[in-house]
Amino acid sequence: MDAVGLFAAVVAVALFPGGVYACAAAGGAAWAGRLSAARATAWTPAAVASAALLLFGAAMMPLPQAPATALPGPDGAPANLLAILLLVGGGVALGTAPRWPRARIAAGVAAALPLLVLAAQAATLSFPTVIGLPGRSLAAARALAAVALLLAAPLLGRLDDPTVPRALRALHLAVPALVAAVLLAPPGWSNLPAAVAAAMTLAGVALYAGVMGAMRRALRGHPSPLAIAASAAAIASIVVTSLAGR
């Protein structure tokens, strides 16, 4: 593959399905979650870099009809779980104010640690292998890890911060929700038609954003309940994974 072909493949992976999924999911999240408008709509270099990292993180996910197999190598571009976590985590950290109270730190640990424990159980960082681990116990552990991520995302993304552009806050909520959707998806979902899989995913992200919006309003901005719930789900996932490995 020449340089032009390689560039076209990289752009294709970044734009579809990852970029399309992420942007469409962010639009649904902004609407269903009733995210407030930003005070200043200007996109700073940090905000642009944050969005780029999130979009590349979404592009690496094993979404249906992903064109990553067109990249060089015998097996294309593997969906590396650690790379996805670093891209998404870096995007969230870069696009928000550098304030890390204990509740937000706990949410960050709860979002990432269960996935790394599952990767250790699978003895690989390949995301498709991690989500394909057999057995009901490991399926429950993946579901608990997804719950921990979904509960932690509103704290990590600081969705009520009016200094962050609304679209970027929506990405901060939607991209982690896409990771959770991959963890929660049934085994055969990659065989579904792309339009069906996309509709299921986007509807699920919008529903999640609406529930999180209602929960944030009910909690009146207090982060501790979400942090505690995310930590509890993460601990349960780790325990279940450890017991399944015996």
CB 81 within 8 A of CB 125: yes
Tokens coding 42: 């200007």
Claim: this prediction has a pTM higher than 0.75: yes
In angstroms, the CA 213 to CA 200 distance is: 20
Each residue's pLDDT, cut to its tens digit, for the chain (246 residues) gives: 455 555 555 565 666 666 777 888 888 888 988 888 777 667 888 888 999 889 888 888 877 655 554 454 444 455 788 888 999 999 998 888 788 889 999 999 999 999 999 999 988 888 888 888 888 899 999 999 999 999 999 999 888 888 888 889 999 999 999 899 888 887 666 666 767 777 888 888 899 999 998 888 888 878 889 999 999 999 999 999 998 866
In angstroms, the CA 129 to CA 151 distance is: 24
Rounding to the nearest 10 degrees, give the CA dihedral for residues 139, 142, 144, 146.
Answer: -140
CB 194 within 8 A of CB 17: yes
In angstroms, the CA 17 to CA 12 distance is: 8
Can you give the C-alpha Rg of the chain in angstroms? 17
Q: What are the DSSP calls for 74-92, one per residue?
A: TT----BHHHHHHHHHHHH
